[in-house]
Amino acid sequence: MAQGFTPGQTQAPLANDYAGDEVAAIVLDPGYSTIRAGFAGEDTPKSVVPTHYGVYEPSDSAGPELLFGENAIHNPKKGLEIRNPLNNEGIVEDADTTAKLWEYAITSRLTGSTGSARAIRDGEKNGEGDPDVDMDEAEDTAEKPLADSPLMMTEPGWNSPKAREKAIEIAIEEWGTPAFWLGRQGTLAAFSAGKSTALVVDLGASTTSVTPVYDGQMLKKGIMRSPLAGNFVSDQIRLLFAQSQPPVPLTPHYIVKSKTAVDAGTPAQAIYHEFGFEPSASFRRFEEERVLTEFKESVVQVWHGPGRFMGGPQGASNEEIAKGLQGRPFEMPDGWNQVFTAERFKAAEGLFDHKAAVTAPDQPPPRPDQTLPQLINASLQTTDADVRTQLLTNVVVVGGSSLLYGLTDRLNAELTQMYTGPRVRLQAPGSTIERKFASWLGGSILASLGSFHQMWVSRKEYEEHGPNIVEKRCR
């Protein structure tokens, strides 16, 4: 009772008590760009599957066929459409397809053949063959894809309760997992950096989010998100390409059969594939994105300062300085190539400075409060002054788009300029895998801890309380 009660006191476990106890749990971390799945306790997800999937509707076949995985969706086929089951905020929109995609991510590399039977069955279901009652009966007795493994799933901090309930339903009822847990991506990313209190800045593909995490719990009111993320940078590059004189041709790989070397800036001399049909616009766009990803990885750089790209010292634009810097060459798949100088800074500057974003009539400039420093500031303003100092000393930068060259340095400069008083300490994992798959990694760490196994929502609990239990338990 109140006798031994001491408020605000917790005791850390002993050093040798931080031992893992692995129960072959599977960690599934769906993102807008890729879905990561792997066994808890490992340092890399074994299965990384693109979230984009193909809907293939051959003219002779009756129903559409869903294509999952890197190997299936990059072949130009007639009537192949590429779609993403998530909306622009990373929330599941097409729950059925998402479930199949997730299952593919798990079964294709982790649990093996048990899933493939189901995939065939799905194909039949989607086809015109009427649902087979006997198959369903047989499926209950047969091994479900996750019958042996507890499943830890991740979700963005702003996920809707409906989507969460759907997730546990799929996991327990369809996949037959004995135990389930839904972790927040921000919290898990903080864990992957070895921190229980952190300000997680996650630059993903569709969304950039800032999540304050205090003592292993995210602070809901502090979550801020904006669409200025990887896809935004891609769109900026597209605009830059379109607006440059002459326009930069963006040719995806699949069109090019062979190419010959040409001088910089001269039109490409390549032989193109003849398909006899026009691959769908979504397919082309998806393939163009791959080229843009390459461009982002090799050319785009975040302006390193001093000052912002648009407002240089004494009113002069840093653009002039940037033009004097050494450029970086880029060659399109068809051989067209050019050295990019100031453009490469322009593409990513919109993340920090809303005025610097490249705009077009159909693409309005971002709001000032969507930029990264403002996002962080807004998030910090919701927190207590005591917590704020702790968060500022533990800023964790993760996400694939944070790998943009020079982004962390720039962010550090912006933050130290914004917060002169408290000490700002930025932490960004050095390795690409840790940066890209931070939330998966955090889940992998968490689900392999012996002390975590009391947290799982078991099948029994689910059956007792219904899917709403996920709201009570996974907070």
Partner 1 sequence: MASSKDVRDIMGLEAGAAPAATAPNKKKGGGGGGLGRRPTGMNRELLALHGERAPPVAVVDVQKTYLAKPQRHFRPSPWEWSPFINPARKDGLVLKHWVRKPHGKSVGGEVSQAVDGQGDTPMAGAEGEDGGQNKEGTNGDVVEHQIPLAEYPYAKYNVEIDAPAFSDEEYDLYMRSNDWSREETDYLIGLVKEYYQRWPVIADRYDFQSQNTKAESQDGTLEDKMALQKAGAPPRTADDLKARYYNICARVMELHTPVSEMDPAEFALHEMLAKFNPAQERQRKEVAEQLLNRTREEIKEEELLLAELQRITTNQTRFEAERAEVRARLEAPRAAPGSNQYDSSTALAMLFNQLFQADRSKKRGRLSLPADALGGHSAAAATAAAGGPGQTPTSAEAHRNSLLGSGGSARKGSLVHGSAAHQQHGPGHHQPAPKEPSRTLAPRAAARFGVSTHERLSSGVTFRTDRLQKLRQAKSAIQTQKIATALAELGIPDFVLPTTRVCEAYAALVGKITKMLDLRKVLEKQTNELKVLRAERGIVMAEKEEGEGKEEKEDARKRMTRLLRNPPILR
By CB under 8 A, is residue 222 in contact with partner 1? yes
By CB under 8 A, is residue 22 in contact with partner 1? yes
The distance of closest approach from Cβ of residue 40 to partner 1 in the complex, given in angstroms and rounded to an integer, is 8
Binding string, 35-54, against partner 1, x = CB under 8 A? ----xxxx------------
Question: Taking CB under 8 A as the criterion, which residues in 444-473 touch partner 1?
Answer: 448-451, 453-454, 456, 458-461
By CB under 8 A, is residue 309 in contact with partner 1? no
First and final CA of the chain: distance in angstroms?
A: 26
> With CB under 8 A as the contact rule, which of the stretches 245-253, 298-306, 343-351, 383-391 interacts with partner 1?
383-391
The distance of closest approach from Cβ of residue 167 to partner 1 in the complex, given in angstroms and rounded to an integer, is 16
Strands (E), 118-244: 151-155, 179-184, 198-203, 208-214, 217-218, 224-226
Quick one: tokens of 310?
């648009």
Nearest CA among 463, 458, 18 for reference residue 473: 458
Q: What is d(CA 138, CA 346) in angstroms, rounded to the nearest whole number?
A: 58
To the nearest 10 degrees (0 to 180), the angle between helices 385-392 and 372-381 is 140
Question: CA-CA distances (angstroms) from residue 100 to 119, 172, 361, 385, 407?
Answer: 8, 14, 38, 45, 35
Q: Which of 298, 422, 427, 433 binds partner 1 (CB under 8 A)?
A: 422
Helices (H) and strands (E) in the chain, counts: 17, 19
Q: Is the dihedral of CA 201, 435, 89, 109 positive or negative?
A: negative
Q: What is d(CA 470, CA 461) in angstroms, rounded to the nearest whole number?
A: 10
The distance of closest approach from Cβ of residue 318 to partner 1 in the complex, given in angstroms and rounded to an integer, is 22
Q: What is d(CA 99, CA 211) in angstroms, rounded to the nearest whole number?
A: 26
Of 293 and 458, nearer to partner 1 (C-beta) is 458
Q: Which of 61, 116, 217, 431 binds partner 1 (CB under 8 A)?
A: 217
- Chain-centre distance for alpha carbon 63: 31
By CB under 8 A, is residue 96 in contact with partner 1? no
> With CB under 8 A as the contact rule, which of the stretches 61-69, 214-222, 243-251, 352-360 interacts with partner 1?
214-222
Of 218 and 428, nearer to partner 1 (C-beta) is 218
The distance of closest approach from Cβ of residue 381 to partner 1 in the complex, given in angstroms and rounded to an integer, is 10
Quick one: tokens of 26?
């599977």
By CB under 8 A, is residue 362 in contact with partner 1? no
Of 219 and 351, nearer to partner 1 (C-beta) is 219
Give the H or E element holding residue 39: strand 34-39
By CB under 8 A, is residue 378 in contact with partner 1? no
By CB under 8 A, is residue 474 in contact with partner 1? no
Q: What is d(CA 224, CA 211) in angstroms, rounded to the nearest whole number?
A: 7
Q: How many other C-beta atoms are found inside a 10 Å radius of the C-beta of residue 39?
A: 20
The distance of closest approach from Cβ of residue 85 to partner 1 in the complex, given in angstroms and rounded to an integer, is 20
Specify whether the backbone of 41 is left (phi greater than 0), alpha (psi in -120 to 50) or beta.
left
The distance of closest approach from Cβ of residue 411 to partner 1 in the complex, given in angstroms and rounded to an integer, is 19
Q: What is d(CA 455, CA 473) in angstroms, rounded to the nearest whole number?
A: 8
By CB under 8 A, how many residues form the interface with partner 1?
61
> With CB under 8 A as the contact rule, which of the stretches 63-71, 217-225, 252-260, 351-359 interacts with partner 1?
217-225
Any bridge partners for residue 339, and if so which? 329
By CB under 8 A, is residue 421 in contact with partner 1? yes
By CB under 8 A, is residue 215 in contact with partner 1? yes
By CB under 8 A, is residue 219 in contact with partner 1? yes
Question: Taking CB under 8 A as the criterion, which residues in 101-140 touch partner 1?
Answer: 110
> With CB under 8 A as the contact rule, which of the stretches 218-226, 267-275, 306-314, 342-350 interacts with partner 1?
218-226
> With CB under 8 A as the contact rule, which of the stretches 98-106, 200-208, 336-344, 386-394 interacts with partner 1?
386-394
Omega before 58 within 30 of 0, i.e. cis = no
The distance of closest approach from Cβ of residue 458 to partner 1 in the complex, given in angstroms and rounded to an integer, is 4
The distance of closest approach from Cβ of residue 121 to partner 1 in the complex, given in angstroms and rounded to an integer, is 24
According to DSSP H, which parts of 68-201 are helical? 70-73, 95-106, 114-126, 133-141, 161-169, 185-192
Q: What is d(CA 65, CA 88) in angstroms, rounded to the nearest whole number?
A: 24
Q: Which of 63, 64, 178, 406 binds partner 1 (CB under 8 A)?
A: 178
By CB under 8 A, is residue 24 in contact with partner 1? yes
Please give the residue ranges that form the binding site for partner 1 (CB under 8 A): 1-8, 10, 13, 17, 19-25, 39-42, 110, 148, 150, 158, 160-162, 178-179, 214-215, 217, 219-222, 383-389, 419-422, 448-451, 453-454, 456, 458-461, 475
